[in-house]
């Protein structure tokens, strides 16, 4: 396990450093960066149980399969069609 220290979109790789190595390139096909963001309830943590944010992988799978209308996709550089089941959680 290491820390991502850089991203090269053109070469489709991230650079990872750990205690033993620095700036090691790791290639990817698709990349999702999870920055570790947290919800804020502005001092009212009792609101958490009513908030729509995801709490677990199970919540995300439920949300992904729900019949509720989804918001329009955020702007992205490329739009690609993915085969069903190709975007699994790890």
Domain extent at residue 30: 3-62
Cβ distance 3 to 16 under 8 Å? yes
Q: What's this model's pTM, rounded to 2 decimal places? A: 0.42
Task: Kindly report which listed range (15-19, 24-28, 71-75, 82-86) carries the lowest average pLDDT score.
Answer: 71-75
In the chain, the number of structural domains is: 1
- Specify if 47 maps to a domain: yes
- Specify if 89 maps to a domain: no
| pLDDT greater at residue 40 or residue 66 | 40
- Specify if 79 maps to a domain: no
- Specify if 19 maps to a domain: yes
- Report the SS3 class of residue 43: coil
Distance between CA atoms of residues 5 and 13, nearest Å: 11
| 37-65 per-position pLDDT tens digit | 777 788 888 888 887 666 666 766 666 56
């Amino acid at each position: 396990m290491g820390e991502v220290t850089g991203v090269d979109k053109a070469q489709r790789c991230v650079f990872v450093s750990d205690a033993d190595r620095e700036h090691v390139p790791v290639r990817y096909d698709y990349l999702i960066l999870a920055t570790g963001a947290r919800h804020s309830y502005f001092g009212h943590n009792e609101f958490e149980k009513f908030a729509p944010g995801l709490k677990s992988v199970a919540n995300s799978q439920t949300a992904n399969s729900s019949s509720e209308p989804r918001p329009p996709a955020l702007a992205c550089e490329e739009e690609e069609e993915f085969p069903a089941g190709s975007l699994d959680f790890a």
